[in-house]
Structure 1
């Protein structure tokens, strides 16, 4: 027998746009600006910090990232279940910004603190602080996505929210990509340990502040008329037969394996393979160009649908890696820059659409199983991305270690090939698998019926 729960009033959903202001859209987007600034620094520079500044071995860091992924597999669903069981005057997802923004900021600072310990002590410090920020990051990032289905039931309003979110997220990621290394040099005055610490303090304070702005200025509108806490069994039932959720989660996982290996090895590639570390900030900063694509995503989806637009995005990512491989072999900066720009265009489509497609999976779970479990369903976006990012870290760490990478030394040809493999071919495989998965995604063809059926149920429950 299918489980049922009281469903939201459709009449309220139809007038969402009358109550949603640009201030609220910007405040929602500020949350992902904050997360991308913080997580961008972790994802792009923490491995480099561990190996070349803190003095840990690449293989040891690979093991750390692997263990952290095991923790993610537990903590991610736990956060989702907690959100589904949370009922406060602020809503289900919003309170998490209030409760966990400051703890995350504190551990973020500690992760970039070069404490004067021996090799074992440093490794323990890395384990404790990295796993802590990993867990807490899910606690502030999952609510960003789980809140979207509750902000509005309107598909077009969701696209607007998501577009603003991704514009600000990309802005944050671009800013941190460009600014970290110059900030470390400026604030450290030649002392990278001090530079990373002061930079981390600035990032942590900004992140906590913006998450509190999101908490203050957003509103959850779509929720059951008579809210009850979902049991674990009820929440999990929203995943039963939810094939759009399965496909999106897998696609997100493989995409982030590719993206993370590329991001975190960019500094290594330009420092050791190209002998010009300053180019790393320039190449990472090119992701600002993806804003052009993100802004036009709502218009493109009207013509190509969400699936078609996503296929275009992933296809561009795959092609860009092939061109990047040519540029890497030729050591040609213009080719590398052109391929990077093409890849960021593709990434813009992906980033702009993914939150909307995840919100669709919440609707599908409600339509198929009678249970609306925003927390657990959308929590797997954070789990999939973190698992993908972690596995990217594992791949990078072990490939570097197995091929003789030694920090701050001239690298052997074997080590240089390992760096290139992480920069070009691991991302190519990850993006390619994501593209193949989209072939099986059929939600767009069903959306009109799903929306109509849910509307009828909501009106009947009123």
Structure 2
């Protein structure tokens, strides 16, 4: 029989708002940082591409390091919870510094970009990874974990959409024609709100279920568990593919409307249709209870792919109503996918616990690893293809660059959804549930 519920609404909302806090900065990074670097800050597309490669190589190490730090943490607050207190302020400071345009020469500005962006990547992992790692320690009730994951994603997705829609209007409002000033004041506003929300999470959430005998195992024991945790391996690849898809599409959206539609002001309207992701998130509890989490995520991928196909056809024909319709359908599917990520990672953590190894930090690092590497590869692909095609910031683009913009905005994400679907078919949910909830099996 499933365990009784342990959390109350103040804790549930505070947990969900942690993802909202992180996404105030994260969405600025995924959607506008490449544009900021090339069209506002003054980096070339090739320099930005190399920066993203270096940052992602660093993130490969950072996710593992933060995961190990969580698993090695002994504090009166638990293993994951203190990270919200310790790293919130540095995270916000580096977020603001990343959007500062210093009065340096080209080399000095490039160094500044490396220092601030690499620092921001590490600190983002330090405040975001604990959101996933703390979930299975808050409650042992499977349905409650699903509800907590849905609340988290609803809050996170809401803020993602708000940032995507309102960033450029805020930049225009604060900058009065000066985009450097506008981006800086916008991130200051987002950062201040983020800081308050992350500290609020620290105050209200609790770690209740930590087994002292399983909580601090040797790396040899942990690595052995990882090799046997096949559901974790599969969902890790799915997460990476999802964020690679998201990065390629989101980073190209502003370029598509600026250089192909010749109307940068359409970006907030296009992003407004991503509010439909909240529909997908809210459907998770109903669908997962009826179909299971794997089938629900497969449905999300299929819906997202159909929406992306419609968007692609609209982009080829320059048909805005078709593009917006495709964006709406695609967003519903994305809501189903991303809303299940932390929940399914929590299941793989519990799967590891059933093997006698509680390594929530390492297992949860998959989420941030996928986010960081997916974003980095997406930035590399986008910036690299732009560079090869002869992209010139703030000028009319040649035919090759327009082709690359269309490829990144429309067709590459569609291909990646197909690959994502195929990978998730390998996820053995029946075996996992039999291990973590043996009392519910026949």
Fold similarity call, TM over 0.5: yes
Q: Unpaired segments of 5 or more residues in structure 2?
A: none
Label 1:275 to 1:83 Cα distance change in 2 as closer, same or farther (>3 A).
Answer: same
Aligned to 2:226, the other structure's residue is in SS state: coil
User: Residue 294 of structure 1 contacts residue 348 of structure 1 at CA under 8 Å; is this kept in 2?
Assistant: yes
Between Structure 1 and Structure 2, how many residues are aligned?
441
Q: Give the equivalent residue in structure 1 for 2:392.
A: 406
Q: CA shift at 1:230, angstroms? A: 3.0
- Whole-Å Cα distance in 2 between the matches of residues 149 and 204 of structure 1? 28
Asked if 1:52 corresponds to 2:22, the answer is no
Q: CA shift at 1:234, angstroms? A: 3.2
Q: Give the equivalent residue in structure 2 for 1:309.
A: 296
- Whole-Å Cα distance in 1 between the matches of residues 165 and 363 of structure 2? 34
Where does 1:351-430 land on structure 2 (aligned, <5 Å)? Answer: 351-367=338-354, 369-430=355-416
- Whole-Å Cα distance in 1 between the matches of residues 40 and 146 of structure 2? 42
Q: Give the equivalent residue in structure 1 for 2:3.
A: 14
User: Residue 174 of structure 1 contacts residue 287 of structure 1 at CA under 8 Å; is this kept in 2?
Assistant: yes
- Whole-Å Cα distance in 1 between the matches of residues 397 and 106 of structure 2? 23
Greater CA deviation, 395-404 or 422-431? Answer: 422-431
Q: CA shift at 1:301, angstroms? A: 0.9
Deviations 1:321-347 (A, max 9, x none): 221111011100000000000110000
Q: CA shift at 1:305, angstroms? A: 1.1
Q: Output the aligned Cα RMSD.
A: 1.6
Aligned to 1:240, the other structure's residue is in SS state: helix
User: Residue 71 of structure 2 contacts residue 215 of structure 2 at CA under 8 Å; is this kept in 1?
Assistant: no
Aligned counterpart for 1:77 among listed residues 51, 61, 64: 64
- Whole-Å Cα distance in 2 between the matches of residues 59 and 361 of structure 1? 39
Greater CA deviation, 203-212 or 222-231? Answer: 222-231
Aligned to 1:135, the other structure's residue is in SS state: helix
Q: CA shift at 1:450, angstroms? A: 3.1
User: Residue 170 of structure 1 contacts residue 287 of structure 1 at CA under 8 Å; is this kept in 2?
Assistant: no
Where does 1:19-30 land on structure 2 (aligned, <5 Å)? Answer: 19-30=6-17
- Whole-Å Cα distance in 2 between the matches of residues 70 and 41 of structure 1? 21
Q: Give the equivalent residue in structure 2 for 1:104.
A: 91
Asked if 1:431 corresponds to 2:417, the answer is yes
User: Residue 253 of structure 1 contacts residue 385 of structure 1 at CA under 8 Å; is this kept in 2?
Assistant: yes
Q: CA shift at 1:449, angstroms? A: 4.5
Aligned counterpart for 1:208 among listed residues 190, 195, 209: 195
User: Residue 214 of structure 2 contacts residue 353 of structure 2 at CA under 8 Å; is this kept in 1?
Assistant: no
Greater CA deviation, 358-367 or 104-113? Answer: 358-367
Q: Give the equivalent residue in structure 1 for 2:53.
A: 66
Q: CA shift at 1:205, angstroms? A: 1.0
User: Residue 87 of structure 1 contacts residue 227 of structure 1 at CA under 8 Å; is this kept in 2?
Assistant: no
- Whole-Å Cα distance in 2 between the matches of residues 302 and 120 of structure 1? 55
- Whole-Å Cα distance in 1 between the matches of residues 413 and 217 of structure 2? 38
* TM-score normalised by length of structure 1: 0.93
Q: Give the equivalent residue in structure 2 for 1:325.
A: 312
Where does 1:9-408 land on structure 2 (aligned, <5 Å)? Answer: 14-15=3-4, 17=5, 19-225=6-212, 229-367=216-354, 369-408=355-394
- Whole-Å Cα distance in 1 between the matches of residues 153 and 115 of structure 2? 31
- Whole-Å Cα distance in 2 between the matches of residues 128 and 231 of structure 1? 33
* TM-score normalised by length of structure 2: 0.97
Q: CA shift at 1:229, angstroms? A: 3.2
Q: CA shift at 1:180, angstroms? A: 0.6
User: Residue 236 of structure 1 contacts residue 376 of structure 1 at CA under 8 Å; is this kept in 2?
Assistant: no
- Whole-Å Cα distance in 2 between the matches of residues 213 and 280 of structure 1? 32
Q: CA shift at 1:226, angstroms? A: 5.4
Aligned to 1:239, the other structure's residue is in SS state: helix
Q: CA shift at 1:227, angstroms? A: 7.2
User: Residue 283 of structure 2 contacts residue 336 of structure 2 at CA under 8 Å; is this kept in 1?
Assistant: no
User: Residue 96 of structure 1 contacts residue 143 of structure 1 at CA under 8 Å; is this kept in 2?
Assistant: yes
Q: CA shift at 1:264, angstroms? A: 0.9
Aligned to 1:117, the other structure's residue is in SS state: coil
Greater CA deviation, 390-399 or 319-328? Answer: 319-328
